Amino acid sequence: MVTITSIEQRKNPKTQAEYTVAIITGNIEILTSHSTGKPYLTTKSVMLPTTLNNDQAKLLVGQNLSGNIEKIECKPYDIKLANGKKISINHTYQFSPVPESK
């Protein structure tokens, strides 16, 4: 189960057209810090584009959806960490819906 936690407006960099995305947040996970060895809470979030306008989409905030957020492989890309260090990663996360049973 995931929850729609917010709605944002984005702009297509090629066409400059605006569109609406829902921010989908998964379940809480407990991980262990590599640097301190102590546990901490985290969650995964992904953006899900929508054809709804901003006002319609805002009505969805707080609703739960059947499905989960899955880690998938992708073409490697670089990110910059908060400490300034650059790393290359080859995964991303995506929403995977669970079909409704009839």
The average pLDDT across 11-37 equals 93
71-95 as b/e, with b when 16 or more CB fall inside 10 Å? eeeeeeeeeeeeeeeeeeeeeebeb
Helices (H), 4-58: 54-58
* CB contact set of 21 (below 8 Å; sequence gap of 6+): 7, 8, 9, 10, 47, 48, 49, 50
What distance in Å separates the CA atoms of residue 98 and residue 95, rounded to the nearest whole number?
A: 10
List, for residues 43-96, the tens digit of each pLDDT value.
999 999 999 999 999 999 999 999 999 999 999 999 998 899 999 999 999 999
pTM to 2 decimals? 0.80
pLDDT score, position 97: 92
Other beta carbons less than 10 A from residue 44's beta carbon = 17
99: pLDDT strictly greater than 80? no
